[in-house]
Structure 1
């Protein structure tokens, strides 16, 4: 029987500094894009119409 205490622990991957920077820049870009979509009233009307048509 396999004992939990004897199992090897999975290795944790550590991101380098440029990978962390790229990840945060990507997240920031996505959030900025979402913010820009919400400032357009046509997008909000279309989104609410699509949501309402589900019911």
Structure 2
């Protein structure tokens, strides 16, 4: 059984990492539309890392 405070911290961490994942996806889309393909790839790589981080908290 997980303590309530620990559970809340894990939920908050998951939410933060999930939001970061989506934010980097949006940055990548914007960079790609502006012709910055290398920057878009970088943002997508960071987004992937954030997705993994989120999974670690779930």
Instruction: Give TM-score, length-normalised by structure 1.
Output: 0.49
> Between Structure 1 and Structure 2, which shows a larger proportion of helix residues?
2
Answer with 1 or 2: which has the greater Rg: 1
| Higher RCO (CA 8 Å, separation ≥ 6 residues) | 2
Instruction: Give TM-score, length-normalised by structure 2.
Output: 0.47
